[in-house]
Amino acid sequence: MHDRNIPVRRLKQNPATGKWEEAVAKPLFISGPIPLPWVEQAAQLPGKAFVLGIGLWWLHGMARDAEVKLTKRLLQTFNVSRDAAADGLSRLEKAGLVQVKRAPGKRPSVRIVKEP
């Protein structure tokens, strides 16, 4: 079973009553600002490169770190296959939008170039 299909109850304490109540899950979001020239350049790339790029900005915003790992969750959330991710990553890298560190048997580490 996929983790997203497992029902999870999130609770928060009501400060007024002190009782635990079910918390509404907040929707995911992409943290910005994302430079428009970056988006324009990525949007011109073929395949899933643009979708992968937006996913990398999502990871970048969550991690609050300059370098992020290409995760399985990113690929599932943005509906990108492993082959499309490898192709998109190389296209983004050739366009100068990201820098990639690859190591055998490990996920690629990606650094977004904010001013291509």
**Model pLDDT for residues 76-87, shown as the tens digit of each residue:** 999 999 999 999
Q: What is the pLDDT of residue 38?
A: 94
Domains of the chain (ranges, CATH numbers):
28-112 (1.10.10.10)
Return the exposure string of 27-46: e unless at least 16 CB atoms fall within 10 Å of the residue's CB, then b: eeeeeeebeeebeebbeebe
Please tell me the distance from the alpha carbon of residue 10 to that of residue 23, in angstroms, as a whole number. 5
Please enumerate in sequence order all residues whose Cβ is within 8 A of that of 93, keeping only pairs 6 or more positions apart, or say none: 99, 100
| Residue 87 phi, psi (nearest 5) | -65, -45
pLDDT in tens, 28-65: 788 888 999 999 999 999 999 999 999 999 988 888 77
Give which of 96, 62, 66 is closest to 77, Cα–Cα. 62
- Rg, Å, the chain Cα set: 17
Q: What is the pLDDT of residue 29?
A: 83
**DSSP code of residue 64:** T
